Amino acid sequence: MSHLLAGAAIALASAGPVLSRPAPPAAAAPVSEKDAEARADRLLAKMTLEEKVGQLSQRFDIASLFPTGAVAPPGMPPMTPLDDNVRKAELGAVLFVHDPAVANKYQKLAVEQTRLKIPLLLGYDVIWGMRTMFPVPIATASSFDPAMVEQARGVAASEARALGIHWTFAPMIDIARDPRWGRIVEGAGEDPYLGAAMAAAQVRGFQGAGIGTPGHIIAGPKHFVGYGASMGGRDYDSAYLSDSELHNVYLPPFAAAIDAGAGNIMSAYMDLNDVPASANRTLLTDILRGELGFKGWVVTDASAVHNLVKQGFAEDKTDASIRALMAGVDMEMSMSPNAFSTLVGAVRASKVPMKRIDEAVRRILTVKYRLGLFENPYVDAAAAQRVLDDPAHAAAAQVAAERSLVLLRNEGNALPLVAGAQKRVAVIGAMADSPGDTTVSLAFPQDAAKAVTIFKGISERLNGVATVETTPGVQLSRLVPSPLAGLRGPAKLWTPAQTADELKKAVDLARRSDVVILTLGEKIEMSSEQASRSDLTLPGDQRKLLDAVLATGKPVVVVLMNGRPLDLTGVYDKVPAILEAWYPGSRGGAAVARALFGDVNPGGKTPVTWPRSVGQVPTYYARNLTHNPDTADKRYWDAPSTPLIPFGFGLSYTSFTIAPPTLDKAELAPAGRIVVSTTVTNTGKRAGDEVVQLYIHQRAGRQSRPIRLLQGFERVTLAPGESRQVRFTLDEANVRYWNSVERGWVIDPGAFDLWVGNSSTAQAHATFTVGGKPRAAR
């Protein structure tokens, strides 16, 4: 059993023994890339133009996407199967199939009723889990634990592959520095170094040792590139990035994902510097393939080719298809009939060279051979259920949730609570007992019955030692309904009388309780796609609920459930203890309960700078000094300019010291390296985790550089009184940067500052120099 699973074994005792993951079903040895390419070329020589273009098209299986009885959003195509399209060889891939029977049906049509018997690629949004749900990516980024993240994505991959899925549209690795953007929940936050580490870990977890590894799926990092920089944080709006921002901030996670072997890349929807990303040759060919060396295939986001017309870029869908393909797109994803079908006519009219069609088809056929789909396109439904029922998956989800928790505030050591010290415990809030907000079930088939909500987790933890009761107190809803609202059935909004009555119930429960666990934040439909916000305050009447509960005089602990930093005005200054749980996944309630009662010591750190209010947005730690750094904390006259919570911050139930750094040499010579060492010591009375972080700053050079840049981190677990040495290695990759004037990677000689500590405000300081002459860097 992995050491990552061991901590959750006791908590899962009631579910049976925690087992190691069983070996995947026997499969043929993975096909080498060279052999797959040769086989793809032989098949390509037999294909008609129509068959080739069919391979470049992917369609939604709408009937699989929406469960029985669900209401599809307005504008969604009819819920009709794609049988005829598959039978006519019009599709190379289908997405959202998650039932083995449906997967086998489509594959049977593809390999038995088409001329060349080419199997389908089946794709799915396996973003933070499949049946077993892990914490959302912004949460797992808070763990600063790439090994745990890799394991989590491996579990998700095994469940997906068992259901017949070959490919995920994940990880989402867009850097996001504006918390108004709803999709910040899907990524690793604001920092390119942390983002790159999490991107690589997720690719390794999804794909295993390489494409074709049994029990794994192809990773499809998205959205290339700059989607997280949308103006005003408004989803789908244009983004404007300088070359410096693009290369130094937004590209590093994609470079790391590609270096880790990602087989697919998804292009973005939005205009980047006034050119749609899905028809931008500079992005998709010059940078993605030229600079980053990507060898796989590029797919668009849903209906992005059709959208080129809506964006005022293409004249019609034929023009859109030509421009997307020639820019570097290999496959079109579409909800409706594919625009790429017009490429048949475009080739015959000599508007598209057959060479470019063949190039795209070859990439897709190659990956199908590498996955072994020609040998075995089908899935074993009986074996699938065994994988889905593996108790080790739930154990891994609980460990992930525990390691993703961030203790934001703990005045007077309000936490941990002592089990049994309070005989009546109230768990109040709109998300307190909401399985959907714990497991993040939007359009996808999680098992809500197995979800452990905050209320359920605390009830199980205090079973026999306290009475635990719950009530929502408030109802939360969006002003503009979620496009996926129909999946949960029609919303039943409270009347004013019900609203007042529910608030009274919550206050009455607080009065008769010894302690109140108050969940605050956002419902899951308030985060993710089409969930941008103009305001970061707590939605609904949550502040009113908090004030009413505080007025009872009972001790209050806040558990935040949210997908973005929120304005904590009136919360942070009033509540002694705040635990950030994010959306914690299938076992999230158990993880939160263990943390609240001291079985687990929170060790996560914030992967984003936390603004005081929306007026500070965007705010991030890696800013430039500017010409007047002495006034940086006084830029606003009506409020502090400093953030509420810095990047990399998180408290613990114990205390740590981090010694000043020592360097094995004072100069980083060309092609050399420096080893930085520090010692971290647990000076408290509990075992706990600390994340040691290393930051650097270049004092002078050919371009202004950020005041600090994260260039190393390590999470360590220490017993009381224990010390450990932590080492980081710096080389030229850590000091190079993209120079916007010289339009290339450069290294400047000179003095650098270095800090180690437990947040971006680290104080333990040293210096080093970079030797040599000003030079270009790779």
Active site residues: 301
Distance, in Å, from the CA atom of 398 to the CA atom of 634, rounded to the nearest integer, reads 42
Distance, in Å, from the CA atom of 523 to the CA atom of 185, rounded to the nearest integer, reads 12
Distance, in Å, from the CA atom of 357 to the CA atom of 330, rounded to the nearest integer, reads 8
Q: Are strands 424-428 and 467-471 parallel, antiparallel or unpaired?
A: parallel
Distance, in Å, from the CA atom of 113 to the CA atom of 109, rounded to the nearest integer, reads 5
CB 538 within 8 A of CB 574: no
Distance, in Å, from the CA atom of 226 to the CA atom of 153, rounded to the nearest integer, reads 24
Distance, in Å, from the CA atom of 527 to the CA atom of 524, rounded to the nearest integer, reads 6
For the beta carbon of residue 228, count every other beta carbon within 10 angstroms: 27
Distances (CA, A) of 49 to 55, 258, 313, 518, 680: 10, 31, 27, 61, 63
Q: Tell the residue number behind the tokens 């020589």, with chain if given.
A: 45
For 702, half-sphere exposure in the C-beta direction (CA atoms, 13 angstrom radius) is 20
For the beta carbon of residue 488, count every other beta carbon within 10 angstroms: 14
Alpha helices in 263-303 (DSSP H): 281
Give the residue among 254, 341, 262 at the shortest CA–CA distance from 306.
341
* Residue 770 burial by Cβ neighbours in a 10 Å radius (0-12, 13-18, 19+): buried
DSSP state at residue 285: I
Distance, in Å, from the CA atom of 78 to the CA atom of 61, rounded to the nearest integer, reads 10
Distance, in Å, from the CA atom of 526 to the CA atom of 482, rounded to the nearest integer, reads 8
CB 101 within 8 A of CB 381: yes
Give the residue among 447, 440, 459, 448 at the shortest CA–CA distance from 400.
440
The torsion region of residue 496 among left (phi > 0), alpha (psi -120 to 50) and beta comes to alpha
Distance, in Å, from the CA atom of 80 to the CA atom of 61, rounded to the nearest integer, reads 8
Q: Which two tokens stand for residue 668?
A: 């980083």
Distance, in Å, from the CA atom of 368 to the CA atom of 366, rounded to the nearest integer, reads 5
* Residue 383 burial by Cβ neighbours in a 10 Å radius (0-12, 13-18, 19+): middle
CB 29 within 8 A of CB 397: no
Distance, in Å, from the CA atom of 332 to the CA atom of 58, rounded to the nearest integer, reads 6
| 388-417 CB burial, b ≥16 within 10 A, e <16 | bebbbbbbbbbbbbbbbbbbbbbeeebbbb
Distances (CA, A) of 413 to 226, 526, 551, 594: 42, 32, 21, 16
Residue 98 carries which side chain, given as an amino acid letter? H
3-state secondary structure of 468: strand
Alpha helices in 421-556 (DSSP H): 435-439, 454-461, 496-511, 542-550
223: preceding bond cis by omega (within 30 degrees): yes
Q: Are strands 764-770 and 667-668 parallel, antiparallel or unpaired?
A: parallel
